[in-house]
Amino acid sequence: MGSKNTTEMKEKKESNKAATSTASATSAKTQYIAKDFQEAYTTSMKSYWDQIASNNKLKLIDLFCAFLVVVGIIQFAFVCLIRDNYPFNAFLAGFIICVGQFVLLISLRLQLLNPFEGIPKNRAFGEFVLASLILHFICIHFIN
Amino acid sequence: MSIFGAAVSARLFSVIRFESIIHEFDPWFNFRATKYLINNSFYDFLNWFDDRTWYPLGRVTGGTLYPGLMTTSALIWHTLRKIGLPIDIRNICVLFAPAFSGVTAIATYYLTKEIKDSSAGVLAAAFIAIVPGYISRSVAGAYDNEAIAITLLMVTFMFWIKGQKTGSILYSSFAALFYFYMVSAWGGYVFITNLIPFHIFLLILMGRFTSKLYVAYNTWFIIGTVASMQIPFVGFLPIRSNDHMAALGVFGLLQIVALGDFVKSKLPPRKFKIVMIVSLLIILAIGIAGLFLLTYMGLIAPWTGRFYSLWDTSYAKIHIPIIASVSEHQPVAWPAFFFDTHFLIWLFPAGVFLLFMDLKDEHVFIIAYSVLCSYFAGVMVRLMLTLTPVICITAAVALSKVFDVYLDFSSAIDPQRRNLTSLLSRLIVSGTFIFYLYLFVFHCTWVTQTAYSSPSVVLPSTSPDGSMALIDDFREAYYWLRMNTDEDAKVAAWWDYGYQIGGMADRTTLVDNNTWNNTHIAIVGKAMASPEEKAYEILKEHDVDYVLVIFGGLIGFGGDDLNKFLWMIRISEGIWPDEIKERDFFTPEGEYRVDSRASKTMKESIMYKMSFKDFPILFNGGQAVDKVRQQAISLEDVGTLDYFDEVFTSENWMVRIYQLKEDDPEGRSLKEVGDFERAKGKLTKKRKITKPDLTLRV
């Protein structure tokens, strides 16, 4: 299990890279590995779509995740473009809050899929809200 | 509860035997900072620029300290005042460490309970409450960062273990918050920053990845990191310095592993293996290349000196004499392990072994902790402090295991299965261990009251009739400074005494224990090692009014400035290798001597002159013996001192204060004045201080 949206991107990248990096090697082997990656990719994708099709909550979480990834990338690209990170703490806070919220969402998602023993889903959600609040509080303080 | 009581009371020996006073060097600074904090607002405190230290540079104190300790005690002070208990801030600071060690005991109980069971927890709490290795840093009056840091260390680990066990976001958030508190209190937080990722890394290697780990670590990491950046002194270090890279790396790794875990659950194992190996290789290559590139481009700071000295014990000695000059940074001596932990030290390996026997996730943590810490404690004495808790925990695990088996008399009571030999062996084994426990308690009490309760500001000694006497020269001298010198007077002394002068005498100092500016320290070292004219020039350039030296030759106080002199020379030699040469201060045979055979450079240095000025006269023609170095000093050895006036010498000659002379009104150099006066025979000895009681020895 894991971060689906980035997951897909990462996997694509990896398979591409794998394909190119081993291009110099025997082509048969390359083909073989590339095929494996292809298969891994399709199976994961398929089970992923199955997973969210049956659960609206997961869909919501994943949308939020995708949004966070986009926001994070925009911030990063912005800093790269203006080639200056002067209010470094502000950028950092903005970026970290994206990453942090993303990670927390994934944590919640994991718990919704297979609840850990002793932690019912509702409690997991409550804890998630609390941790998010702490995170936001600190980051807002950090932005100045 | 009673353990809490024991923990607190054992640490009060120092108050009973001496008085309610702040100990050592660093606590004096913390005390001064706390006073500043309660007299000003919190924001003033964070923006505090201290112009009374590091003259003429000053120090950005607010941004270069760990504010956790001061904030906590100020908070306690304010709370107590609100509920109508106005207590002197000094008493809060003095009793701060004992109170927090009580909390440590409680946290240790819960931590060990997670590791084994509550009986082991009780034992561990009892051990940590009285073990000398921890008491050494938390007696009443040791108002230092470590006093609170160990408590926070234990609490953070406790929440971490809980979070990791249950996978609860809540516990991990708590761990992160306490981690933040720890960051605000002690530089040793880096230990947690590396230990927890290490734990996770080990678990991944052992193939024990679960989504619980993912939840616990990521929550901790993200909240902990962003929170730790709020401390001004830490700033952007968590993403810049290599010390923190391990945590970041594991964070990234965990994302990948989680992804791999997902893919794995969907694929046949054989195919997954190929996919995994190929992608792992690619990621590894990219990661290493990236790290090199970033370090090369200077985006990530290289490891700090203290960190290098952890791996290569001689690193500091070669490159940074100032780090090596602190005795806390020396490797620990073997007997110290026994002295500090008594019989726990041999239960420690047994406990680690028992943890290996049923290797659960949290046991891996304790094992990693103990292995790392044993190594670090072997390198640096002060890290003994972080080793002590884990010794207590593992020893408690071992001991409670023994008691589980041998204190179980149920079979002996049961008449059908009565077996004399088994009963006897049980009695013997448990009797032996209980006897060891008794010895341990005895040892701890003894060590605490003799070795760790003395506040180094006041020295204990015995007078001729055997009763206890206190040597109070330091406070006498600082009080003299406070009362008799101008408020803006600048005092030059070796950096060890900087905090004390600032705290007790309230005078401006050139260098202090913060040691942030090596060059500035080297300047003072150079002045001390130079002959008079040159030293006078250097000191005048820095507006110095008084020079303070510590001299233990009369009563045999080993930690005096002449013994530290070599470090002064070495540090200044690092900056001015042409002017100061260590070799010149040794005799041709390569000995460090202060008597008639001392080298010329040595005798000309003002440190030598100031320490021994008028010393031989004290003995009325008898042989003057320096009791620290066991060497005889004769009248001819000690040269004249023309540029400095002796203004104060304490009762046992431990602190001697000199004033820089004014320029001569007639425009002669002070040396000429001195020669002229001597020629006239007018330079009568003005010393009128009564002869101290010579039998007084430490």
Mind telling me how many Å the CA of B171 is from chain A's nearest CA? 9
Rounded-to-integer distance, Cα B185 and Cα B71, Å: 9
Query: In this predicted model, which residue has the larger pLDDT, B9 or A126?
Result: A126
| CATH numeric code, B469-680 | 3.40.50.12610
Cα torsion angle, B435, B439, B444, B446, sign: positive
Q: Which amino acid is at B421?
A: T
Q: For position A51, what pLDDT does the model report?
A: 76
Which residue does chain A place closest to B215, by CA atoms? A107
Q: What is the pLDDT of residues B591-609, one digit of tens each?
A: 888 777 788 888 888 888 8
For residue A44, give the nearest of A18, A70, A100, A6 by alpha carbon: A6
| A133 confidence band (pLDDT: 50, 70, 90) | very high
Say if residues B423 and B409 touch (Cβ distance below 8 Å). Answer: yes
Say if residues B332 and B375 touch (Cβ distance below 8 Å). Answer: no
Q: Which amino acid is at B592?
A: Y
Q: For position A11, what pLDDT does the model report?
A: 46
Q: For position B152, what pLDDT does the model report?
A: 92
Of B212, B260, B261, the CB nearest to A116: B212
Structure letter (DSSP) for residue B502: I
Mind telling me how many Å the CA of B218 is from chain A's nearest CA? 7
Q: For position A15, what pLDDT does the model report?
A: 46
Which residue does chain A place closest to B269, by CA atoms? A40
Distances B698 to A77, B327, B624, B693 between C-alpha atoms, Å? 68, 20, 18, 13
Say if residues B59 and B513 touch (Cβ distance below 8 Å). Answer: no
Contacts of B26 (CB under 8 A, 6+ apart): B144, B145, B499, B513
Mean pLDDT of residues grouped by 10 in chain B (698 residues)? 61 58 75 85 81 76 81 90 84 84 86 86 85 79 83 92 88 92 86 89 87 89 89 76 78 85 75 76 83 67 55 54 60 76 84 87 90 79 82 90 79 63 81 87 80 65 62 82 83 83 82 78 85 85 86 78 84 83 82 80 84 80 77 78 83 85 75 75 48 39
Contacts of B565 (CB under 8 A, 6+ apart): B528, B529, B585, B605, B607
Contacts of B75 (CB under 8 A, 6+ apart): none
> Which tokens belong to B399?
């001991």
Rounded-to-integer distance, Cα B220 and Cα B227, Å: 10
Say whether the peptide bond before residue B56 is cis (omega within 30 degrees of 0). yes
For chain B, list residues whose CB is within 8 angstroms of any CB belonging to chain A: 166-170, 172-173, 176-177, 211-212, 214-215, 218-219, 222-223, 225-227, 229-230, 236, 239, 255, 258-263, 265-267, 271-272, 274-275, 278-279, 282
> Which tokens belong to B4?
């809490």
Angle between helices B384-406 and B145-166 in degrees, nearest 10: 50
Query: In this predicted model, which residue has the larger pLDDT, A20 or B206?
Result: B206
ipTM: 0.77
Q: For position B335, what pLDDT does the model report?
A: 78
3-state SS class at B29:
helix
Rounded-to-integer distance, Cα B2 and Cα B462, Å: 35
Contact between B223 and A130 using a beta-carbon 8 Å cutoff: no
Contact between B271 and A89 using a beta-carbon 8 Å cutoff: no
Q: What ranges do the domains of chain A cover? A: 1-54, 56-144
Query: A104: phi > 0 → left, psi -120 to 50 → alpha, else beta; which?
Result: alpha
Which residue do the tokens 């003799």 mark?
B450
Q: What ranges do the domains of chain B cover? A: 2-401, 469-680
For residues B277-303, b (16+ Cβ closer than 10 Å) or e, as one string? ebbeebbeeeeeeeeeeeeeeeebeee
For residue B144, give the nearest of B221, B70, B81 by alpha carbon: B70
Q: Which amino acid is at B306?
A: R
> Which tokens belong to B407?
């204190």
Contacts of B113 (CB under 8 A, 6+ apart): B120, B121
Q: For position B414, what pLDDT does the model report?
A: 63
**Main-chain phi, psi angles of B615, to 5 degrees:** -60, -45
Mind telling me how many Å the CA of A110 is from chain B's nearest CA? 7
DSSP assignment of B554-592 equals: TTT-SSSHHHHHHHHHHHHHHH-TTT--GGGGS-TTS--
Distances B243 to B205, B307, B538 between C-alpha atoms, Å? 21, 8, 39
Q: What is the pLDDT of residues B644-682, one digit of tens each?
A: 888 888 888 888 888 888 877 777 777 777 777 777 764
